[in-house]
Amino acid sequence: MTPPTKANLFSLPDPLPNLEVFEPLFDEGNCLIERIISTGQTTPAAEWYDQERDEWVILLQGQARLAYEDGSETALERGDYVLIPAHCRHRVVYTSKEPPCIWLAVHCG
């Protein structure tokens, strides 16, 4: 059996890419845990995420804002988390560049 590999959620690629980074940390069965690094990226205005599974997401670093199809928004600061039910149409309308946003997302259900 291979021993576990140590990693750090706050370690960033150097240099940071200009694209949003989606890094699967665990993907098995009906559960995906991923780290997301955002540096100013947002969801295009005409697009919505409409996911098959519930998503619990925590913002570990930075500031961000989520918008929902009903017109409401959620501002997130370091340590804030939200549960987005399956098929709740949402989009990312703001992510800070400095500091970069580090998200931890858990998709399940």
> For residue range 75-96, what is the model confidence (pLDDT) as tens digits?
999 999 999 999 999 999 999 9
* Domain 21-108 grouped into CATH 3.40.50.450: no
- Distance between CA atoms of residues 55 and 32, nearest Å: 9
Where exactly are the structural domains of the chain? 21-108
Peptide bond into 13 cis (omega under 30): no
Query: pLDDT by residue (tens digit) across 12-64?
Result: 999 988 899 999 999 999 999 999 999 999 999 989 999 999 999 999 999 99
Q: 């990226």: which residue's tokens?
A: 41
- Distance between CA atoms of residues 16 and 26, nearest Å: 22
Q: What share of the chain is helix, strand, coil (3-state, %, to 5)?
A: 0, 50, 50
Residue 62: predicted pLDDT: 98
Cβ atoms of residues 49 and 93 within 8 Å? no
Residue 52 tokens, joined: 């098959």
